[in-house]
Amino acid sequence: MCNLYNVTTSQQAIIEWSRAMRDSVGNLEPALDIYPNYPAPVVRNAADGVRELARLQWGMPSPPAYVKGADRGVTNIRNAGSPHWRRWLKPESRCIVPFNSFAEPSPSKDESGRTPNVWFAIDDSRPLAFFAGLWTPWHGVRKVKDGPGDFELYGFLTTVPNAVVGPVHPKAMPVILTTRDEIETWLTAPAEEALLLQRPLADDLLTIVSAPAKIEDVGPAAPGGQLPLL
């Protein structure tokens, strides 16, 4: 499953690409190494109906049967039709998650015995794209030492892998949106239509890339780095 990704495209580019009407994140710096339970930018249908760029925490509420103590959250959602996930399939609970590249663990260890990550992007320039996600407000325990609290959580859908991801991770890949039409469908269409987007990205729209630069090497978020506005 995908438990690591990054987004380095500028805040303004995310807003323009997604047609977000409100920005609630403040200053958005390049976000390398986004892991589960980290806060990260998403574009969501807010409670008042406004499309909003917001900062949420990665990991949707787990099915109760899997929670013992703290709920660390579910990052990847495969069976969107299950009773647990159906409650969040309406447009008001959908979001899109901006990214420039994402990682899957390599099936082979390196010379030191460690498992390296294999990174994927739309192409070598790592343009902006989006995962198809769900979000929800939630009250509960994320970390036992912190006790219960109020959170806004997100996760994104996965599907069968394409020929690029499959040799690395044969079980699943994220659902990726690359056009404005796909974004509008995911954020606004009835669930039956929106879920047709839960399919692997075409093989020629994804490639393996080198590991991202360290945060100190990136500097301010790049203003470009986005797909054509289709």
**Each residue of 52-104: pLDDT tens digit?**
999 999 999 999 888 888 889 999 999 999 999 999 999 999 999 999 999 99
Structural domain includes residue 176 = yes
Sequential DSSP letters for 82-99 = SHHHHTT-SGGGEEEEEE
Question: Which one has a higher pLDDT value, 69 or 182?
Answer: 182
Nearest Cα to 131, choosing from 61, 228, 58?
A: 58
Cα–Cα distance measured from residue 8 to residue 5, given in angstroms and rounded to the nearest whole number: 10
Q: CB under 8 Å to 41, separation ≥6 — which residues?
A: 7, 11, 14, 25, 28, 31, 53, 54, 55, 97, 98
Structural domain includes residue 207 = yes
Structural domain includes residue 229 = no
Cα–Cα distance measured from residue 160 to residue 173, given in angstroms and rounded to the nearest whole number: 6
Amino acid letter at 56? L
Q: Is the pLDDT of residue 229 over 70?
A: no
Structural domain includes residue 228 = no
CATH number (domain holding residue 103): 3.90.1680.10
Q: What is the pLDDT of residue 146?
A: 85
Q: Is the pLDDT of residue 191 over 60?
A: yes
Number of domains in the chain: 1
Cα–Cα distance measured from residue 225 to residue 9, given in angstroms and rounded to the nearest whole number: 6
pLDDT per residue over 123-179, tens digit each?
999 999 999 999 999 999 999 888 889 999 999 999 999 999 999 999 999 999 999
Q: What is the pLDDT of residue 147?
A: 87
Cα–Cα distance measured from residue 202 to residue 131, given in angstroms and rounded to the nearest whole number: 14
Structural domain includes residue 202 = yes
Structural domain includes residue 227 = no
Structural domain includes residue 206 = yes
pLDDT per residue over 11-60, tens digit each?
999 999 999 999 998 888 777 789 999 999 999 999 898 999 999 999 99
- Is residue 219 exposed (0-12), middle (13-18) or buried (19+ Cβ within 10 Å)? exposed
| Domain membership of residue 194 as a residue range | 5-216
Q: Using DSSP, how many helices (H) and how many strands (E) does the chain show?
A: 5, 14
pLDDT per residue over 207-228, tens digit each?
999 998 765 444 444 444 544 4
Structural domain includes residue 224 = no
Question: Which one has a higher pLDDT value, 27 or 119?
Answer: 119
Cα–Cα distance measured from residue 207 to residue 197, given in angstroms and rounded to the nearest whole number: 20
Query: What's CA 197's distance to the chain center, in Å?
Result: 15
